[in-house]
Amino acid sequence: MSQVFAGIEAGGTKWVCMIANHPEDIRATTRFPTRDPEETISTAIEFIRNHIRNPEDLRGLGIGSFGPLDLKKDSPTYGFLTTTPKPGWANTDLISPFQKEFNLSIGFDTDVNAAALGEYRWGAGRGLSDFIYLTVGTGIGGAAIVNHSLIHGMIHPEMGHILIPHDWEHDPFAGVCPYHGDCLEGLATGPAIKARWGQPAEDLPPDHPAWQLEAHYLGLGIANLIATLSPQRVILGGGVMDQTQLFPMIREEVRELLGDYISAMDILEANEEYIVPPVLGTQAGVLGAVALAQQAAEA
């Protein structure tokens, strides 16, 4: 067996592990529920060990994790999950156990940054210098590639928490974000849709008014992100975006919200290629972790 990379998508409810070189060369994949840190990490290590013949076959390892994370490389708790409310997981060191076991440099980033990097290498962001990746599911996560690199800044973006106009008369729903109430995440995640309409998003028919309102809020958020980042493309993933009827509705909202002002953008001519689903689909996260592994090995 030739050399390969390992990627781990570390989620709050499940972990996905993969041995691969790229999307067309996937050697093995597994997914299992997130238990306590020790057991979960052991399961991942076990999977990797079982799928490489010799230790030296493993060229790199990448982890894209749920957060909040300490991503400051010079911090004593670099690679830790920090203040997560998930029982048992606060202050968990996600890097050291793998480093001890496999003795190589480890790529580490947020789950959404990993997914964006996966799309950059092999998906809808390929060949672009600047794009946004948003995932809309139980939360709203955002990542951006700017000048061919991920934004980290002081910590990492929290694009789900931008504040948008909320017409209380038209939509008296207060929002579900425990921090800000009616920020983008508070108004437009899966749980917000469920709380507003009294039934799970996936049970609402495609012509339900929930989707027009959802497209409106996502359109507002995306218009703000476009005005801030001037991206060449916007990639929308996550469970809520499985409702593919949202794409044309969101494109229309964004077009209207930007107005004539940003018409110079190719948005109007190539709208259907401007706001798109991820090419890697549900594998964006774990393939992104493989991309993190490659990036760490190249560094």
> Which residues make up the interface to a copy of itself (CB under 8 A)?
68, 82-83, 129-130, 142, 144, 146-147, 149, 151-166, 179-180, 220, 223-225, 227-232, 257, 259-262, 264-266
Pairing, β 80-81 against β 92-93: antiparallel
Greatest alpha-carbon pair distance for the chain in Å reads 64
Q: Is 113:143 a contact under the CB 8 Å cutoff? A: yes
Q: Is 254:293 a contact under the CB 8 Å cutoff? A: no
Non-local (6+) Cβ contacts of 11 within 8 A are 34, 66, 111, 285
Q: Supply 209's token pair.
A: 């008014």
Minimum distance from CB of 70 to a copy of itself (Å)? 8
Q: Pick the closer one to a copy of itself by CB: 225 or 280.
A: 225
Minimum distance from CB of 163 to a copy of itself (Å)? 6
Minimum distance from CB of 191 to a copy of itself (Å)? 16
Minimum distance from CB of 223 to a copy of itself (Å)? 6
Q: Pick the closer one to a copy of itself by CB: 153 or 205.
A: 153
Q: Pick the closer one to a copy of itself by CB: 174 or 257.
A: 257
Q: Pick the closer one to a copy of itself by CB: 204 or 220.
A: 220
Q: Pick the closer one to a copy of itself by CB: 34 or 113.
A: 113
Minimum distance from CB of 166 to a copy of itself (Å)? 6
Non-local (6+) Cβ contacts of 61 within 8 A are 5, 6, 7, 8, 48, 98, 102, 104, 106, 107, 293, 296
